[in-house]
Amino acid sequence: MNEKNPGGLEPFEICSIRPPTENSSLTFRLTRNCYWNKCAFCPVYKMGARFSRRSLDEIRRDIDRARQLDDWMLAGGIGMNGYTRADYGKLPGLAEEIRRTGRKAHHEARTQKAAAEIPEDVDPRLAWFISWFNDQPSLEDSLAHLLSWRMAGGETCFLGDADGLILKPEFLATVLGEIKSRFPSLQRFTVYGRTRTAARQRSLADLRSMAAAGLNRVHFGIESGSDQVLAFVNKGECSADHIEGCLKTKEAGLSCSVYIMPGLGGTARSEEHALETARVINAAAPDFVRLRTLEIFPQTPLEQAVKEGSFTECPEEQVVRELRILISRIDAETELLSDSASNLLDLYGKLPHDRSRLLKIIDGYLDLPEQSKRIFSLHARLRSFLGQYGGLPEDLYEILSPYARDGELDMSRCPNDTLEGITRTIRSRLMP
Ligand code: SF4
């Protein structure tokens, strides 16, 4: 550490919402929240979070805070011989020492205030989601964020929030330059983007300058290639935006990763959703296609559409049939990933090369008897839950314990509606 900061050290803002590949990245918020915020399925910023751009000074302050906290960790003996999970146990003491030095105890109060801001009448599922959204991190949160990044190798950085491409290229270049000079181990910088911004607001020269400044990859949530589906969910983008935005991004030398949302067409547009999404992927040829199956969150416009009867959720089997159509139709060279807890099947592979292997996985599920499909689904969701949270909360433990035998779950005698109910409860708590 250079010197202990007598003025006190504040936490820096982190991006709670980021791609799964950036879970262990160092993150900085260049904007806050989403200026569009109208997608019918999206619960992310619906609880009153307002979009804002952050000034260069604010961002610089966060970079500086992150640099100093990283130095504090090293000075506190964390990372002297490599970083381990055991180091998490040292963080509360370190945070306390930083507070003592800087007399900044008000951070705890600020964190408590943020948690208390969830209104009491909010649906428990949404409350669960919001509690995970850390808008005002504490010193401990900032330190844990740095430790997780260090443990993962310290090479990746995500710049949030929802659309990094709205930033002027010169602004982004300045930020990237400053981050790189303070964190020289960083090798990869990524942002979320909207295809409409890439297609209509940014020139090819703009995107090239971003790549030249060090940006490596853009993650686009395209969700669907069907213009009807995109209009229904109020995505504010069309398939032409998706194709042009992705092609331009790749031409600028940036890696292009897209998220698609199986199930988003509902029962009415299921097949069209799959066919049109395959069409867009073939035309846009993104480097990565990531699956993120639709989950309908409470208090979203899509949940309202379900209540009104204008949208009917696809059963799981129909979602899998969509995937079958999609994978059968994609001829572009791309990589398919199922890196979201919302997905039922593990579908990872290069397309079109791995098509037959991936179709075998799909057909293996589709050929199962009905009861076995339900049991398969429960186990898949349970694995995701344990992967995400590391254990079961008391209520889920109680629901499942009657079916535990010798440390294994035997659901074969569980009635179908109970099986479905348990699976739904687990799904409702997974972060997509
Ligand atoms: S653009 Fe992304 S963050 Fe914004 S509302 Fe749509 S899905 Fe949510």
Q: Which CATH number does the domain housing residue 56 bear?
A: 3.20.20
- Do 39 and 123 share a domain, yes or no? yes
Which of 332, 366, 400 is at the close of a domain? 366
Asked if residue 37 has its Cβ within 6 Å of ligand 1, the reply is: yes
Residue 259 CB less than 6 A away from ligand 1: no
Protein residue closest via CA to atom 6 of ligand 1: 39
Same domain for 308 and 278? yes
**302 Cα–ligand 1 center, Å:** 13
Question: Do 193 and 220 contact (CB within 8 A), yes or no?
Answer: yes
| Span 162-168, average pLDDT | 97
98 and 245 in a single domain? The answer is yes
Q: How far is the CA of 162 from the centre of ligand 1 (A)?
A: 7
pLDDT bin (cut points 50, 70, 90) of residue 192 is very high
**Mean pLDDT within 202-225:** 98
Same domain, 45 and 16: yes
Give a yes or no: residue 118 inside a domain. Answer: yes
Q: Tell whether 235 and 273 lie within a shared domain.
A: yes
Whether 127 is covered by a domain: the verdict is yes
Q: Is the CB of 16 under 6 A from ligand 1?
A: no
Task: Check pocket membership of 34 for ligand 1, CB cut-off 6 A.
Answer: yes
Best probe residue, ligand 1, of 33, 37, 196 (max atoms within 8 Å of C-beta): 37
Same domain membership, residue 319 and residue 389: no
**Does 160 reside within a domain?**
yes
Task: Tell me what the mean pLDDT of segment 67-74 comes to.
Answer: 94
Q: How far is CA 45 from CA 145, 150, 158, in A?
A: 21, 28, 18
Ligand 1 centre distance from Cα of residue 61 (Å): 27
Integer angstrom CA distances of residue 293 from 134, 170, 219, 315, 382: 24, 36, 16, 12, 16
Q: Which atom of ligand 1 is nearest to the CA of 192?
A: 2
List strands edge to edge, sheet with 288-291.
Answer: 26-29, 156-160, 188-193, 217-223, 255-260, 288-291, 334-337, 349-351
d(CA 75, ligand 1 centre) in Å: 40
Average pLDDT of span 121-136: 73
Same domain? For 208 and 335 the reply is yes
174, 28 contact by CB (below 8 A): no
Is the CB of 39 within 6 Å of ligand 1?
yes
DSSP label of 311? -
In a domain, residue 424? The reply is yes
Q: Is 131 exposed, middle or buried (0-12, 13-18, 19+ CB in 10 A)?
A: exposed
φ, ψ of residue 2 in degrees (nearest 5) = -70, -65
Ligand 1 atom 5: residue of nearest CA: 37
- The last residue of one of the domains, among 334, 366, 398, is 366
Please, where are the H alpha helices in 291-354?
301-308, 316-329
Tell me the range of 21-25, 100-104, 210-214, 295-299 where mean pLDDT is highest.
Answer: 210-214
CA-35 nearest atom, ligand 1: 4
Whether residue 16 is found in the same domain as residue 143: yes
Together in a domain, 232 and 304: yes
Residue 217 sits in the same domain as residue 100:
yes
Q: Are residues 359 and 375 in the same domain?
A: no
* Nearest alpha-carbon partner for 381 in 417, 333, 428, 413: 428
Domain boundary among the residues 313, 343, 366 is at 366
CA 40 to ligand 1 center in whole angstroms: 9
pLDDT tens, 349-397? 999 999 999 999 999 999 999 999 999 999 999 988 888 888 888 888 8
pTM: 0.91
Of 358 and 117, the structure prediction assigns the larger pLDDT to 358
In a domain, 1, yes or no: no
236 and 271 inside one domain: yes
Domain count, the chain: 2
Average pLDDT over residues 313-330: 97
Give yes or no for residue 221 CB within 6 A of ligand 1.
yes
Is the residue at 117 inside a domain? Answer: yes
User: Is the CB–ligand 1 distance for residue 19 below 6 Å?
Assistant: no
Domain extent for 148: 6-366
Is residue 191's pLDDT more than 50? yes
Q: How far apart are CA 395 and CA 377, in angstroms?
A: 19
424 vs 121, more confident:
424
